[in-house]
């Protein structure tokens, strides 16, 4: 049974790790200067109030996000 608990614990950790938002990896910054998308973050081209809409440029186009 011990191996089963460890296996379940590992699965839970992997699932939680995959679902953590990109904001978990954001460096220290001035509020409103980072744009956070569901997948990643970028430095805001035009800083603003936290919570405002923003976009990050990617190779496949622009992705919407929120200023943090």
Q: What is the pLDDT of residues 1-50, one digit of tens each?
A: 687 777 677 676 666 554 555 556 777 888 999 999 999 999 998 889 99
Domain that holds residue 47: 22-68
Model confidence, pTM: 0.62
63 found inside a domain: yes
* Structural domain includes residue 13: no
| Angle value at C-alpha 19, between 67 and 22, nearest 5 degrees | 30
- Alpha-carbon distance values, 54 to 7, 8, 12, 41 (Å): 40, 38, 32, 11
Strand (E) or helix (H) holding 63? strand 61-67
Residue-wise pLDDT for 36-53, tens only, equals 999 999 999 888 999 999
Q: Around Cβ 16, how many Cβ atoms within 10 Å?
A: 9
**Are the beta carbons of 56 and 44 closer than 8 angstroms?**
no
Chain-centroid distance of CA 45 in Å reads 18
Number of domains in the chain: 1
């Amino acid at each position: 049974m011990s191996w089963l608990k460890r296996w379940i614990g590992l699965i839970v950790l992997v699932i939680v790790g995959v679902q953590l938002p990109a904001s978990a990896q954001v460096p220290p910054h001035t509020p409103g200067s980072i744009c956070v998308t569901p997948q990643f973050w970028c430095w805001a081209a035009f800083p603003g109030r936290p919570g405002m809409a923003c976009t990050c440029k990617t190779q496949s186009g622009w992705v919407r996000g929120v200023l943090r």
